[in-house]
Chains A and B, each alone.
Chain A
Amino acid sequence: DAGVIQSPRHEVTEMGQEVTLRCKPISGHDYLFWYRQTMMRGLELLIYFNNNVPIDDSGMPEDRFSAKMPNASFSTLKIQPSEPRDSAVYFCASSPNLGGVGEQPQHFGDGTRLSIL
């Protein structure tokens, strides 16, 4: 079975540039999550979707960050303009809609390692 697929795996860009991270969730999963992982703050939830609708974006750091899910098989996380403090590993995860958002395991992609110079 294909797991959660993220692209690119690595991204290096200069500050001020727009960055777009992509995610394909596991087919049939209704929840999609975006996380950021750093040494200092660990794994932080940025936003999650249910059936393509954003449910909780309270973890999005600021207006420079935006996320979309135009269909059940694709989501993007965009940073514009990017800053060096955005450097981190960004993970996408998905889970089935059985019992609610916090009641089933989330399955993670292998992440995008983002470096903003």
Chain B
Amino acid sequence: GESVGLHLPTLSVQEGDNSIINCAYSNSASDYFIWYKQESGKGPQFIIDIRSNMDKRQGQRVTVLLNKTVKHLSLQIAATQPGDSAVYFCAENDQAGTALIFGKGTTLSVSS
């Protein structure tokens, strides 16, 4: 069946570096994608989303890139801070009218 996956389960960066978290999806019909951040003991927190009619969207210090040709989604975090340390999930609606499907998550560790 369709699934959302992540290339790396963990990512360690230094404070101030830029971080890139990757996600692969399998269904070319997916048209909505979201990134969530989950800190320890809390629920997933919405970061940024993107629809399939776009290939880039920017927020505050974050950018999401969508490459539909290779079915790849990435989250870029500029000037990573210790407070960015968390598990990051991508999610997609892999078929029209379905609820979101979440990937397994990438743990980002930021050292100062």
Contacts and interface: CB of A to CB of B under 8 A. Distances in A.
Interface string B18-61: 00000000000000101010000111111001000000000000
A106 interface: yes
B49 A105 contact: yes
A73 to B, nearest CB: 18
B32 A103 contact: yes
Contacts, number: 49
Which 8 pairs show the lowest CB-CB distances between chains A and B? Answer: A102-B93, A108-B43, A105-B46, A43-B102, A42-B104, A108-B44, A110-B43, A110-B42
A103 B24 CA distance: 19
Contact of B34 (A43, A48, A105, A109): A105
Contacts of A105: 34, 46, 49
B97 A102 contact: yes
A100 B34 contact: no
B98 interface: yes
A105 B98 CA distance: 13
Contacts of A45: 99-101
A106 B41 contact: no
A110 B44 CA distance: 8
B6 to A, nearest CB: 10
A110 B41 contact: yes
A56 interface: yes
10 contacts: A4-B43, A42-B103, A45-B100, A91-B43, A101-B93, A101-B99, A102-B96, A105-B46, A109-B43, A110-B42
A61 B36 CA distance: 25
Contacts of B97: 100-102
A110 B96 CA distance: 28
